[in-house]
């Protein structure tokens, strides 16, 4: 062992200097005194759990996994990961029906899109939701996202797949469950924009759920299975020269970081090839590889909400830089705060009130802002902000798609008409 | 990503430089590995415990003190402009660099200060305290404020103090957590009707006291809650610094970041620079943990990474180093010479840091780096604790660096 | 009778004597467990370490090991231990070792390296052999405090921060002691029929004050404290005992030690750890457990072993092994003085039994020793986790209550957690609550913050007191109404912590040190109290 490495701890929690900064930025601490806070749950508690696992504190289950503690830590302690892993270790027995339902995004989504009419009508009915609450514990006050009549994948295969080979450049798209089952329009916009700047799009072979919600719901084994399959698919695409772009910041974060830190998978070989669509587009634009032509009549006042996981990725600047390219778009930065939803967290009866209390200051800021549209890279923030405020919420890519003069953009990028 | 200037370190130095540059039209990004030491602000910025005159004398000593690197021809201008820079960001400060005032510490000591946030109690001199009647108000169950120590400190100077403790149901609720009754969480409760109830309770406790002191637990986002409280109370009320993270410090940080982003700057939090690319004595690009394959490029760079606490300096048993660029530093070689026997003695390590020239430019293995400027606590030559010069050095060097980069003055005449 | 010395031996003697109905006064010049009792590995030897070289000590250890597991449950963690053979060690020694263990009745089970690694993943993976023995860890602070508490419950009086400055003599008889109150300087005389000198290495000076000589050799041993539990079993080297060859998991941390160096009597109060000693400990420690190289070191400390010369050796050079119990009437013709010394932390009870037997014999008291079967306070019931119900109950406790239960055993019932503000944690690293601090001040002879550390674990965690010193002082100031005293204590406390941090002040520990000085000196201005406070103002 080389002496210069001494005391540069692999046991990352020991770099904690007990400064308490993380506790200042924990959204759960703000609203819930039963949560022991990131410092106590993370590095402090870890020492005791290492001494004896019975020192585990049930209050840890309140953690949102927003990772705002981590980005605040002056010593780079992976506080959120320590807590998430402790939760996984402590989990005993089978997950509840509710947690299975919420985290089985693919199974539920594929059934629900097939029966979307019935599912959406039911989800709109308060009686149905009350039933759901009493049966499984999904809070009835939460409107659940609507399911599309046709999944993105189905649309893509039917409408788009064939044409993709006529583009000289190509990327693979990790659409995630949300774009696939709930918001296929986002996927369609991605295809449209990428095509316009000269990129063909293809799907990964056998994409699975990224696993984020499974990890959060204590189904690590399932998450691991999905993750391994995803990595196989991603490796194949990368080997064929593709970058893998995603629209969801949480999926991107899972593929890049949660796989490595929470599941212990080695994804180093493909990490740099997994990227967020806004990052991909802005970098290509900055290098002059692609060009944008914007509609002259486009006007929009946008407030950007930096979702927890894009904050943790550190990548909000790509989305905002991209939005700033749009003439006629006035961009206002909302102070970076958690909206309280945290994936499936806010759906749960026991969390609903805390979740809404966390979001309240953000919702107030949004209402008070002069923006017509809130932009965010995260689908769960989108649901939550839309149902909690009067504003429309759009993915930055959707805004870009609306602002682009597609025809001229195609011309600029030398794309022949479809 | 391309910027005019990239600043590494998002604390006081990075923000002051960033604001000055952004205000002058530059496209600036600050990359900050976590939150800064501003979170532990005592409420005051310190300039030099021995006073401004002593800094002027310092110049004659030709020491490597950062004030000497700034140059006395610039220093007074920067110090004079500081209050206004903070004011524009929404931080009200009182004080004057030509004459230190006294702030009251959490243990009741009186320490010299340059600028203090306006809600804090300050005194022009010890004599001013004698004969004052003071009510010290503690909040029940809050462990980071020490009314007995504050009272004892004032009584040593001849004040008459009374300590009372106030409880509110809303505060008791915070105590459901064994750890999270912290200043920040109290400040989140102390708004609206709760603030009014607290004011009502405290008002009922005042007898003949002319000064009421409370812990600094008001207003994480703005000074409005404290102003409202003062209005409601109707007497002279001030706050005293608490232990652990400081609510007004968090607010100062927040307001400065908001000012910076309002001016168009990108504040990238929670990322760490891993390596850099240099060409012909100039830094060309930085890479970070989170952006990996994406380089950050700029014409100029500012290093404001702080001292050991913020990991601007690092150490192993073998030595002390500047971890980012491997800049040449001034530090004792043997670890036995880094520290002193008692924790409250002068600690040699406090003075360790990066060596710079008269333009705040460092060297790497003796080679000059032309477009990198080093500011703040990462600089060698100052002992912020024993000299009481922490913030003064940071602000002065940060403004100096901005002027070096811009090639013209940033302060108004 | 008067017992001199508030270490584990003195505490044990005081308890044994009190249980046998004697009127006892325990006098300690500092706090309890400030000497070697609080400055060791906290290892409950199985005896294996001595099996080859010193079978007599080994046999003592075996017996006491079994006893302490019963009577001091809340101080003992039955971790078991490994004796590992590294490629550079002689594997033949293992056979001798196992045979010697079996000969004195120590269970010693040979494991193949893979089994050992599965049992203790922290162990060096290059081991070529391992033996499992019933080693355990024992918390010496708790052990001393419980003995003192039980002594008090049986009528003993305790004077900490009182130094014995003179042994009162009438002819050839010691009739009492003169003690000086360390805080006030006041002196007073205490008369008794017998004085037991249980002052460890300082016993040499006590004896001299009585006019008799005991040849002692102070030997300094240094140890390092790591930030968390790296290993869960005690790890020893299977070879002749040497430097830095035991790694013990103790409460939340792991300890490597010790070095061994003869020092002079001038140095016995210094307890300084040198850079070379730190390097040796690290070098040897990483051989036992490679991950120590990347684990944060919290502090270094040293203690002084009271080695005693064998009375039978006219040259006074050979060291007596095991327990030394001297009746000075027999040995030096001086009545009324007994010295109990030598021995080990874990044979303290046996030492106390021997000393008390002697005292009783001299005083004509016939009651028998019961300490081998009477549990210490806190150790009456099986701890958490033994039963399913106990486990469930423990899991449901809040942090501060869990911490208290782990430290005080069933005595934690006396800690009042009813009010939410008493449940608040003062020390977040070690989960010490306001309630526990109050209990320690009220019931466990804690006068200063540093004493609170030994009674609880205040300030023993990652931040080494940075976060908790002021809070504890605040609680103390409120309870006692003495702000100035509490404030002086804060400076003393953080300085005591710094003494241990300083030898390992690099990396995260230097970060912590800077943070500590910023806050206590910079923000609080605590440094001003000590020096030049008026100079810098205005």
Q: Which residues of B touch C533 (CB under 8 A)?
A: 109
Angstroms from C329 CA to nearest CA on chain B: 45
Nearest CA in chain A to B27: A321
CA-wise closest residue to A369 among A389, A398, A339 = A389
| Residue B164: CATH number of its domain | 3.40.50.2300
CA A259 to mean position of chain CA atoms: 14
Question: What ipTM does the predicted assembly reach?
Answer: 0.96
Asked if the Cβ–Cβ distance from C275 to B140 is below 8 Å, we say no
pLDDT of A5 > 50? The answer is no
Return d(Cα A56, Cα A65) in angstroms, integer. Answer: 17
Return d(Cα A195, Cα C75) in angstroms, integer. Answer: 70
Q: Which residues of A touch C402 (CB under 8 A)?
A: 48, 54-55
Total number of domains constituting chain B = 2
Q: Is residue B99 part of a domain?
A: no
φ, ψ for residue B122 (rounded to 5)?
A: -140, 160
| Same-domain check for residues B254 and B236 | no
Q: How far is CA C110 from each of CA A380, B59, C66, C101, C115, rounded to the nearest angstrom?
A: 57, 72, 21, 12, 10
CA-wise closest residue to C439 among C402, C467, C479, C399 = C479
Return d(Cα A335, Cα B262) in angstroms, integer. Answer: 11
CA-wise closest residue to B10 among B29, B24, B26, B23 = B29
The answer to whether B220 and B190 have CB atoms below 8 angstroms apart is: no
Return d(Cα C211, Cα C209) in angstroms, integer. Answer: 5
Fold of A300-403: Rossmann fold (3.40.50)
- Rg of chain C, C-alpha, whole Å: 23
Q: Which residues of C touch A15 (CB under 8 A)?
A: 296, 508
User: Which stretch of A266-270, B200-204, C443-447 has the lowest confidence by average pLDDT?
Assistant: C443-447
Q: Is the minimum CB–CB distance between A11 and chain C shorter than 8 Å?
A: yes
CA A36 to mean position of chain CA atoms: 25
| Same-domain check for residues B229 and B311 | no
- Give the dihedral of Cα atoms C344, C345, C348, C351; nearest 10 deg: 10
The series of mean pLDDT values per 10 residues for chain C, 538 residues long, is 98 98 97 96 95 92 95 95 96 96 96 96 96 97 97 97 97 97 96 97 95 93 96 95 93 94 93 96 96 93 91 72 92 97 95 98 96 94 68 88 93 92 95 97 93 96 94 93 92 96 96 96 83 40
Q: Is the minimum CB–CB distance between A293 and chain B shorter than 8 Å?
A: no
| Same-domain check for residues B368 and B305 | yes
| Same-domain check for residues B138 and B78 | no
Q: Helices in C169-274 by DSSP H: which ranges?
A: 203-209
- Give the count of beta carbons closer than 10 Å to the beta carbon of residue B173: 13
Query: So what's the pLDDT on residue C316?
Result: 64
What tens digit of pLDDT does each residue of A107-147 get?
A: 888 888 888 888 888 888 888 888 888 888 888 888 778 89
Best mutation site among B10, B177, B257, B377 for testing chain A: the one with the most A CBs within 10 Å? Answer: B177
| Same-domain check for residues B64 and B134 | no
Return d(Cα B43, Cα C109) in angstroms, integer. Answer: 63
Return d(Cα C325, Cα B32) in angstroms, integer. Answer: 64
Q: For residue C347, give both structure tokens.
A: 């044979």
Q: Is the minimum CB–CB distance between A268 and chain B shorter than 8 Å?
A: no
The answer to whether A338 and A27 have CB atoms below 8 angstroms apart is: yes
Please, what is the end-to-end C-alpha distance for chain B in angstroms?
A: 35
Superfamily name with CATH number, domain C2-35+141-215+316-363 = FAD/NAD(P)-binding domain (3.50.50.60)
| Same-domain check for residues B37 and B157 | no
Q: What is the mean pLDDT of residues A388-403?
A: 97
Asked if the Cβ–Cβ distance from A33 to B316 is below 8 Å, we say no
Q: Which residues of C touch A75 (CB under 8 A)?
A: 508, 511
Query: So what's the pLDDT on residue A109?
Result: 85
Please, what is the end-to-end C-alpha distance for chain C in angstroms?
A: 59
What tens digit of pLDDT does each residue of B310-319 get?
A: 999 999 999 9
Return d(Cα B350, Cα B312) in angstroms, integer. Answer: 12
Q: For residue C178, give both structure tokens.
A: 């003169």
Q: Which residues of A touch B188 (CB under 8 A)?
A: 30
The per-residue b/e assignment along A309-331, b for 16 or more CB within 10 angstroms, e otherwise, is bbbbbbbbbbbbbbbeebeebeb
Q: Is the peptide bond before C283 cis (omega within 30 degrees of 0)?
A: no
Query: So what's the pLDDT on residue C532?
Result: 41
CA-wise closest residue to B221 among A356, A25, A331, A75 = A25
CA C120 to mean position of chain CA atoms: 25
Q: Nearest Cβ partner of A14 from C249, C402, C462?
A: C462
What tens digit of pLDDT does each residue of B249-270 get?
A: 999 999 999 999 999 999 999 9
The last residue of one of the domains, among B203, B219, B240, is B240
Q: Is the minimum CB–CB distance between C339 and chain A shorter than 8 Å?
A: no
Q: Is the minimum CB–CB distance between A18 and chain C shorter than 8 Å?
A: yes
- Give chain B's mean pLDDT: 95
What tens digit of pLDDT does each residue of B47-76 get?
A: 999 999 999 898 888 789 999 999 989 999
Angstroms from A234 CA to nearest CA on chain B: 18
Asked if the Cβ–Cβ distance from B270 to A70 is below 8 Å, we say yes
- Give chain A's mean pLDDT: 92
Q: Nearest Cβ partner of B173 from A20, A33, A313?
A: A33
Angstroms from B29 CA to nearest CA on chain A: 10
The per-residue b/e assignment along A13-37, b for 16 or more CB within 10 angstroms, e otherwise, is bbbbbbbbbbbbbbbbbbbbbebbb
Q: Which residues of A touch C251 (CB under 8 A)?
A: 51
Query: So what's the pLDDT on residue C376?
Result: 97
Q: Which residues of C touch B169 (CB under 8 A)?
A: none
Q: How confident is the model at residue B172 (pLDDT cuts 50, 70, 90)?
A: very high
What tens digit of pLDDT does each residue of C56-89 get?
A: 999 999 999 999 999 999 999 999 999 999 999 9
Say whether C153 sits in a helix, a strand or coil. helix
Q: Is residue B245 part of a domain?
A: no
The last residue of one of the domains, among B240, B258, B281, is B240
Angstroms from C8 CA to nearest CA on chain B: 29
Please give the residue that has the higher pLDDT: either C425 or A5. Answer: C425
Query: So what's the pLDDT on residue C383?
Result: 60
Query: For residue B198, what are the domain limits?
Result: 121-240
Return d(Cα C470, Cα C486) in angstroms, integer. Answer: 9
Superfamily name with CATH number, domain C70-137+219-297 = D-Amino Acid Oxidase, subunit A, domain 2 (3.30.9.10)
Domains of chain A, by residue range, sit at: 12-90, 300-403
Query: So what's the pLDDT on residue C534?
Result: 42
Asked if the Cβ–Cβ distance from B384 to C470 is below 8 Å, we say no
Question: Which residues 453-492 in chain C show a CB within 8 A of chain A?
Answer: 461-463, 466-467
Query: So what's the pLDDT on residue A92?
Result: 77
CA-wise closest residue to A121 among A133, A112, A108 = A112
Q: Nearest Cβ partner of A74 from B35, B179, B184?
A: B35
Q: For residue C523, give both structure tokens.
A: 């923000």
Domain A12-90 has what CATH class?
mainly alpha
Residues in Cβ contact with C233 at an 8 Å cutoff, skipping those fewer than 6 apart: C79, C80, C81, C82, C119, C120, C135, C249
Domains of chain C, by residue range, sit at: 2-35+141-215+316-363, 70-137+219-297, 388-530
Return d(Cα C412, Cα C377) in angstroms, integer. Answer: 10
Q: Is residue B102 part of a domain?
A: no
Nearest CA in chain A to B288: A314
Nearest CA in chain C to B182: C424
Angstroms from A22 CA to nearest CA on chain C: 14
Query: So what's the pLDDT on residue C538?
Result: 33
Q: Is the minimum CB–CB distance between A76 and chain B shorter than 8 Å?
A: yes
């Amino acid at each position: 062992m080389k002496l210069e490495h001494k005391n540069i701890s692999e046991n990352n929690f020991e770099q904690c200097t007990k400064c308490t900064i993380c506790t200042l930025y924990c959204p759960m601490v703000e609203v819930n005194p039963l949560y022991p806070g990131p410092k106590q749950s993370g590095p402090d508690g870890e020492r005791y759990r290492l001494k004896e696992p019975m020192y585990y504190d049930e209050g840890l289950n309140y953690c949102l996994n927003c990772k705002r503690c981590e980005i605040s830590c002056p010593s780079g302690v992976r506080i959120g990961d320590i807590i998430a892993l402790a939760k996984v270790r402590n989990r005993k027995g089978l997950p509840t029906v509710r947690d299975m339902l919420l985290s089985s995004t693919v199974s539920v989504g594929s059934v629900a899109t097939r029966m979307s009419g019935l599912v959406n009508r039911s989800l709109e009915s308060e009686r149905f939701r009350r039933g759901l609450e009493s049966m499984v514990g999904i809070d009835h006050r939460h409107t659940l996202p609507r399911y599309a009549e046709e999944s993105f994948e189905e649309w893509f295969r039917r409408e788009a797949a064939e044409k993709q080979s006529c583009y000289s450049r190509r990327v693979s798209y990790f659409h995630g469950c949300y774009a696939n089952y709930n918001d296929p329009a986002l996927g369609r916009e991605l295809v449209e924009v990428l095509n316009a700047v000269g990129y063909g799009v293809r799907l990964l072979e056998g994409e699975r759920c990224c696993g984020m919600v499974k990890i959060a719901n204590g189904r690590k084994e399932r998450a691991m299975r999905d993750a391994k399959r995803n990595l196989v698919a991603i490796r194949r695409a990368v080997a064929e020269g593709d970058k893998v772009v995603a629209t969801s910041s949480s999926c991107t974060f899972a593929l890049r970081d949660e796989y490595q830190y929470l599941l212990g998978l080695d994804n180093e070989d493909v990490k740099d090839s997994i990227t967020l669509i806004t990052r991909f587009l802005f970098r290509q634009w900055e290098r002059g590889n692609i060009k944008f032509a914007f509609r002259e009549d486009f006007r929009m006042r946008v407030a950007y909400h930096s979702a927890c996981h894009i904050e943790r990725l550190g990548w909000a600047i790509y989305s905002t830089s991209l939005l700033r390219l749009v003439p006629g778009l006035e961009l206002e930065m909302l102070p970076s705060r958690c909206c309280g939803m945290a994936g499936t967290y806010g759906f749960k009866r026991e969390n609903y009130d805390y979740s809404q209390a966390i979001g309240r200051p953000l919702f107030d800021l949004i209402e008070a802002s002069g923006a017509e549209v809130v932009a965010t890279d995260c689908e769960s923030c989108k649901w939550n902000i839309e149902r909690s405020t009067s504003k429309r919420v759009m993915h930055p890519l959707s805004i870009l798609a609306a602002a682009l003069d597609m025809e001229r953009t195609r011309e600029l990028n030398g794309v022949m008409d479809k | 990503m391309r910027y005019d200037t990239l600043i590494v370190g998002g604390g006081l130095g990075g923000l002051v430089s960033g604001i000055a540059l952004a205000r002058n039209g530059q496209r600036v990004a600050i990359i900050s590995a976590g939150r800064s030491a501003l979170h532990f602000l005592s409420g005051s910025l310190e300039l030099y415990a021995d006073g401004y005159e002593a800094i002027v004398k310092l110049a004659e000593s030709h020491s490597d003190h950062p004030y000497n690197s700034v140059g006395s021809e610039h220093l007074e201008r920067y110090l004079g402009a500081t209050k206004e820079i903070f004011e524009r960001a929404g931080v009200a400060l009182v004080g004057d660099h030509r004459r230190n005032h006294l702030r009251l510490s959490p243990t009741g000591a009186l320490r010299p200060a340059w600028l203090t946030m306006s809600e804090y109690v300050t005194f022009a001199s010890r004599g001013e305290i004698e004969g004052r009647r003071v009510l010290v108000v503690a909040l029940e169950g809050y462990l980071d404020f020490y009314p007995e120590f504050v009272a004892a400190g004032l009584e040593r100077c001849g004040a008459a103090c009374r300590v009372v403790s106030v409880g509110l149901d809303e505060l008791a609720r915070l105590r459901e957590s064994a750890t999270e009754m912290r200043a920040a969480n109290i400040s989140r409760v102390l708004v609206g009707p709760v603030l009014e109830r607290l004011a009502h309770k405290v008002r009922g406790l005042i007898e003949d006291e002319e000064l009421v002191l409370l812990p600094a637990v008001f207003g994480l986002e703005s000074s409005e809650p404290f102003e409202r409280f003062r209005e409601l109370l109707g007497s002279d009320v001030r706050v005293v610094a608490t232990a652990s993270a400081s609510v007004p410090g968090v607010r100062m940080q927040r307001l400065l970041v908001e000012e910076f982003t309002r001016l168009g700057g990108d504040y990238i939090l929670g990322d760490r620079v891993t390596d850099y690319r240099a060409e012909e004595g100039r830094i060309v690009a930085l890479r970070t943990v989170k952006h990996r394959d994406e380089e950050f490029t700029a014409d100029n760079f500012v290093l404001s990474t702080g001292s050991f606490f913020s990991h601007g300096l690092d150490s192993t048993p073998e030595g002390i180093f500047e971890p980012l660029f491997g800049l040449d530093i001034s530090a004792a070689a043997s670890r036995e010479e880094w520290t002193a026997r008692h924790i409250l003695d002068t600690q040699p390590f406090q003075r360790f840091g990066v060596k710079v020239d008269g333009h705040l430019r460092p060297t790497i293995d003796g080679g000059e780096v032309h477009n990198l400027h080093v500011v703040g606590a990462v600089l060698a030559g100052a002992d912020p604790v024993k000299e009481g010069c922490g913030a003064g050095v940071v602000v002065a060097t940060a403004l100096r660096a901005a002027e070096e980069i811009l090639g013209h003055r940033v302060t108004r005449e | 009778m008067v017992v001199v010395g508030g270490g584990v031996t003195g505490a044990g003697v005081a308890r044994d004597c009190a249980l046998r109905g004697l009127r006892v006064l325990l006098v300690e010049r500092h706090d309890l467990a400030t000497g070697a009792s609080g400055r060791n590995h906290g290892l409950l030897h199985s005896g294996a370490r001595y099996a080859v070289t010193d079978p007599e000590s080994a046999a003592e250890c075996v017996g006491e090991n079994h006893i302490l597991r019963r009577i001091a449950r809340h101080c003992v963690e039955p971790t078991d231990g490994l004796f590992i053979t590294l490629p550079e060690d002689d594997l033949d020694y293992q056979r001798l070792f196992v045979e010697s263990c079996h000969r004195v009745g120590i269970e010693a089970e040979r494991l193949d390296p893979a089994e050992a690694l599965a049992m203790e993943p922290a162990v060096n993976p290059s081991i070529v052999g391992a033996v499992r023995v019933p080693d355990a860890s024992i918390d010496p602070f708790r052990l001393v405090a419980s003995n003192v508490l039980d002594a008090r419950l049986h009528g003993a009086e305790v004077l900490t921060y009182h130094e014995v400055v003179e042994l009162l003599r009438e002819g050839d008889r010691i009739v009492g002691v003169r003690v000086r109150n360390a805080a006030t300087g006041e002196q007073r005389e205490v008369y008794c029929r017998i004085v037991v000198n249980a002052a460890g290495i300082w016993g040499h000076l006590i004896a001299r004050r009585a006019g008799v000589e005991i040849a002692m050799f102070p030997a300094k041993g240094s140890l390092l404290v790591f930030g968390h539990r790296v290993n869960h079993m005690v790890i020893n080297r299977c070879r002749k005992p040497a430097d830095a060859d035991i790694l013990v998991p103790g409460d939340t941390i792991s300890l490597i030690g010790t070095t061994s160096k003869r020092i002079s009597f001038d140095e016995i109060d210094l307890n300084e750890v040198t850079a070379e000693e730190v390097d040796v400990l690290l070098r040897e420690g990483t051989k036992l457990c490679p991950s120590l190289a990347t684990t944060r070191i919290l502090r270094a400390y040293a203690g002084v072993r009271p080695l005693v010369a064998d009375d039978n050796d006219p040259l006074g050079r050979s060291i007596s092994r095991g327990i030394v119990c001297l009746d000075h009437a027999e040995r030096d013709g001086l009545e009324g003085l007994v010295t109990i010394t030598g021995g080990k932390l874990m044979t303290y009870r046996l030492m106390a039994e021997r000393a008390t037997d002697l005292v009783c014999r001299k005083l004509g008291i016939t009651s028998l020793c019961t300490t081998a079967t009477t549990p210490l306070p806190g150790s009456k019931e099986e701890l958490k986790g033994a039963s399913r119900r106990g486990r469930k109950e423990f899991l449901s406790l809040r942090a501060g209550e869990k911490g208290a239960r782990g430290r005080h055993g069933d005595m934690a019932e006396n800690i009042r957690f009813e009010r939410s503000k008493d449940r608040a944690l003062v020390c977040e690293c070690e989960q010490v609550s306001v309630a526990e601090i109050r209990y320690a001040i009220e019931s466990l002879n804690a006068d200063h913050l540093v004493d609170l550390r030994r009674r609880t674990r205040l300030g023993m965690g990652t931040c080494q007191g940075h976060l908790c010193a002021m809070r504890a002082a605040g609680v103390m100031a409120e309870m006692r109404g003495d702000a100035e005293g509490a404030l002086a204590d804060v400076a003393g406390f953080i300085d005591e912590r710094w003494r241990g941090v300083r030898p390992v002040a690099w990396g995260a520990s230097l970060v912590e040190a800077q943070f500590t000085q910023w806050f206590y000196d910079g923000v609080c201005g605590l440094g001003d109290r000590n020096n030049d406070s008026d100079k810098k103002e205005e």
